[in-house]
Chains A and B, each alone.
Chain A
Amino acid sequence: MLKFFNCDLHIHTCLSPCAELDMHPLALVEKSIQAQLDLIAVCDHNASANVKYALAAAKDRIKIIPGMEITTVEEVHLLGLFPTLEALEKMQLLIDDHLYGQNDEDRFGVQAIVNEIGEVEGLSDKLLIGATDLSIDRIVDHIHHLEGLAIPAHIDRESFSILSQLGFIDETARFDALEISKHKGIPKARLDYPELHRYPLLTSSDAHFLRDIGTAATRFLLSEPTFAELRMALQNFGGRRVQED
């Protein structure tokens, strides 16, 4: 039987330089449960070291999808969501080879790796706020090769979005869905972007602070909150779907 699940597929942790330190895996999980979310994706900028701790903190209390918000060479933010932690770790290998520079904590913020009980395991010194030198097409290919979902983030924003950087979405693009920022929301996006009618749209909190969790989510009609079900819903398989209002 199908029912509605609340999904937020874009939540950062304290590994993202612009996120608060309190946004560690355990706190993020607790807050997501409190906010009555059923399924969340943990997506840091070009990094993923906190995802395994979020999985450990969640146990079976809430379903977590391993993800990453990747910066393409065009400076487009692209969400990659993966069926397994192993697939995400393979994606990370490619990103690590194509991301340069060192973080400056005073300017960009601290990038903390924190375990499932809230202890700091280390700091990332990579320039996570930077862009990779990989084209969006190459990254989409690799995400699909790893059986993940490729979703351009906050397409309506005036910076770091596919529409700001690349002007429009060409017919050959193979995105699995498009993310609309919570400020616009899906119904308004449907009116503003009639040319994108063939894409499923979703909206997320893009939370960088604990207080952001629960401020936006997308309702999916699924039989259970899993990655496989999510993929089927994006393809409208067997009655599964995204609830747009």
Chain B
Amino acid sequence: MKVKTIAENLGLKVVCGSNALDRDVTGGYTGDLLSDVMANSKEGTIWITRQVHQNIVAVASLKEHAAIILINDSQPTQETLEKAETESVPILVSNLPAFELSGKVFNLLSCR
């Protein structure tokens, strides 16, 4: 499933990286501890988090994540936006909390 499909289905706002929305999503990971995400998430992941610090872009790019979704309408910082644009990491924003959003993404990914 493409990042774009998930964004459309869940009504996510694309705040940057709109040129990379055709990436394939092969799984999901939810977490706010970047050390944990670095250790345990996989390539092709759509990563759900509340952290907005610019280090999220480096982690997503290092781990070759498909995209990042920020929960609870959290806004990325200016540095995060700039970095994500340079590194072509899509950042999407949802108004849902992590539990509900993870459930929806999980259902989407497993229904095909």
Contact = CB atoms under 8 A, between A and B. Distances in A.
A170 B58 contact: yes
Contacts of B18: none
Contact of A170 (B37, B52, B55): B55
A137 interface: yes
B51 interface: yes
Interface centre among A137, A158, A163, A167 (most CB of B within 10 A): A167
A74 B59 CA distance: 15
Helix, strand, loop or mixed for chain B's interface?
Answer: helix
Given A74-B51, A166-B51, A135 B34 contact: no
A153 to B, nearest CB: 16
A168 B59 CA distance: 9
Q: How large is the interface on B (under 10, 10 to 19, 20 to 34, 35 or more residues)?
A: 10 to 19
Contacts of A163: 35
Contact of B77 (A135, A164, A165): A135
B57 to A, nearest CB: 10
B53 A135 contact: yes
A136 interface: yes
A167 B39 CA distance: 9
Nearest to B37: A167
B34 A137 contact: no
B33 A164 contact: yes
Interface string A121-139: 0000000000000011100
Contact of B34 (A136, A158, A166, A172): A166
Contact of A137 (B36, B58, B59, B77): B77
Interface string B17-35: 0000000000000001111
Given A74-B53, A135-B53, A136-B53, A167 B77 contact: no
Interface string A12-26: 000000000000000
B88 interface: no
B52 to A, nearest CB: 8
A168 B58 contact: yes
B79 A137 contact: yes
B38 interface: yes
Interface centre among A166, A170, A172 (most CB of B within 10 A): A166
